[in-house]
Structure 1
Amino acid sequence: MLMTLAVVAVVSGALMLGAAWGVYGNMSAKTQGFLVALAGGALVLSLVSELIEPSIEQSSVWLASGGVAAGAVIFALADYLIDEKWGPNSGGGLLAAISLDGVPENLALGVALIGTGPMGVAALAGSIFLSNLPEAAGSAKQMAENGDRSKGTIIAIWAATAAILSIAAIAGNVLLAGASPHLLAFIRCFAAGAVVASLATEVFPTAYRKEHHLSGIATALGLVLAFALGQLGG
């Protein structure tokens, strides 16, 4: 449980540090685009190596495929509702978009930490920090630029998001320790599908708009850094 709490602290800390940087820091559009692409690259590797591949090994390729498809479809539906019905800049819509891929991923994260050694925990925590910090910074900066909310309100929204994801990771570690490997595989792949959809519709398009010259390099760099952290854990 102590290791789980350490990783949860990294998850929450990365989101809060990123949000504070985006709201109060001096971040150019090009820097924002580079960081978002960096996070996207890290997520590409994470969703394959930490979510999909273990699920296929523990269950079946058919269940994994169904989970990925379900996650992508539900994310696309939520993304449509946020854009067309709730408003893309609403606090509730933002929480829905972030939580849809984050909650199942963190549920599975809590289970994955059971029996993990210190080096594995360090690698996993580093990968999470690498992806969450720039993602939160870019999103918080965009919210601040819209001018619809105060800086304090934006930080409060991200604090609520960090709390939701932290609770999900702890719940996964405590409540799903004895769950069926097929259920855990579906949860992981549902999260992977939502992440894939968010990368295609939100992350990479935003990165390219902000920094189209270096976004490809940043994506590759994020993937390489995530791979290096994964090797550390192995």
Structure 2
Amino acid sequence: MLEAAWWGFVGGGALLVGALIGLYVHVGLRVIGLVMAFGAGVLISAVAFELTQEAFRSAGGTSAALGLAAGSVTFFTGDWLIDQRGGHRRKSPVHGGQTAPASTGGTKAAATAGGASSGLALVLGALLDGVPESAAIGISLLGGGGVGIAMVAAVFLSNIPESMSATTGLKASGKSTGWILRLWALVVAASTLSAVLGYVLLGDASEGTVAFIQTFAAGAILTMLADTMMPEAVEHAGRLVGLLTVLGFAVAFFISSA
């Protein structure tokens, strides 16, 4: 359990690293987009080989297919609800998820209400994005074979550009340094807990159940990448995103194959 907590903290702790970079280092939007693309490629590789392939090998196609579908639909639904609260640009280095709902009008009180709603959406969105990744780290420890280093590396390398981008946007939208750091500290704590729960709750589970949870996390992560991370990368970095995504995929693949 302590090992799961440690590796969950390591993976989630990259969010604080990215947040500090976003707060104190000036990084151009194009660079942020390219780093996000690299992180997305890393996660795609980990999802394919560390989660989906392992689930298919251990329990067959039915559990894997059901898990992918359930994870995707669950993330899609949660993400849609968060979008309605103003968190649809939570990974943007420009907006930081701070677009107030259209119905708020132009008054100062309405803007304040919209900002509060958007702030809550950012917290929930960050949790929605981070929990499946960290749970996957805990799941990788099942069976006593040690943590999936490729999975930890994927989460770590993708979390840095995610929080760096969002923090840049949050800073530009007027959020205080303390608020931003508290947000990411909360997500790191949740990530650590998710890794522990992924390990503890599934310790005695059947292969089919573990496979379902693995691919549930995979489906949620893939949907997150397509819906929030990749669009922001393309918007700010253009055509080079494809090359950096492949590079990230290749790095993660060779780490897992070593």
TM-score computed with the length of structure 2 as normaliser: 0.81
Match of 2:161 in 1: 134
After TM superposition, the structure 1 stretch with the greater mean CA deviation from structure 2, 213-222 or 2-11, is 2-11
Distance change (3 Å), C-alpha of 1:92 and 1:60 = farther
1:56-205 pair list within 5 angstroms: 56-84=56-84, 86-88=85-87, 89=97, 90-114=118-142, 115-117=144-146, 122-147=149-174, 149-205=175-231
* Residue aligning to 2:102: none
Larger Rg: 2
Deviation digits for residues 201-220 of structure 1, max 9, x if unmatched?
A: 11111001101032111111
**Residue number in structure 1 paired with 2:11:** 11
User: What 5-or-longer segments of structure 2 have no aligned partner?
Assistant: 88-96, 98-117
CA distance in 2: counterparts of 1:178 and 1:23, whole angstroms:
43
Work out the CA distance in 2 between the residues paired with 1:170 and 1:121: 14
Q: Secondary structure at the match of 2:204?
A: coil
Whichever structure has more helix as a proportion of its residues is 1
Mapped to 2, the partners of 1:205 and 1:113 lie a distance apart of 32
User: Are 2:37 and 2:241, in contact at CA under 8 Å, matched by a contact in 1?
Assistant: yes
Q: Which residue of 1 aligns with 2:103?
A: none
Secondary structure of the structure 1 residue equivalent to 2:205: coil
Verify the 8 A CA contact 1:108 1:184 in the aligned structure 2: no
Shift of residue 47, structure 1, vs aligned partner: 0.8
TM-score by length of 1: 0.88
Off by >6 Å, runs of 4+ in structure 1: none
Specify whether residues 62 and 208 from structure 1 end up closer, same or farther in structure 2 by C-alpha distance, changes over 3 A only: same
1:185 CA drift (Å)? 1.4
**How far apart, in 1, do the equivalents of 2:201 and 2:82 lie?**
31
C-alpha distance 70-174 of structure 1, shift in aligned 2 (>3 A): closer
Report the secondary structure of 2:187's partner residue: helix
Aligned identity (percent) is 36
Note if contact 2:58-2:208 (Cα within 8 Å) is conserved in structure 1: yes
Give ranges in structure 1 of 5+ residues lacking alignment: none
**Aligned residue in 2 for 1:207:** 233
Separation in structure 1 between the aligned mates of residue 76 and residue 148 of structure 2, nearest angstrom: 32
Task: Tell me, in whole angstroms, the C-alpha distance in 2 between the residues paired with 1:15 and 1:153.
Answer: 14
RMSD between aligned residues: 2.0
- Whole-Å separation in 1 of the counterparts to 2:86 and 2:152: 33
CA distance in 1 between partners of 2:130 and 2:136 (Å): 10
Equivalenced residues, count: 228
Whole-angstrom distance in 2 between the partners of 1:92 and 1:184: 32
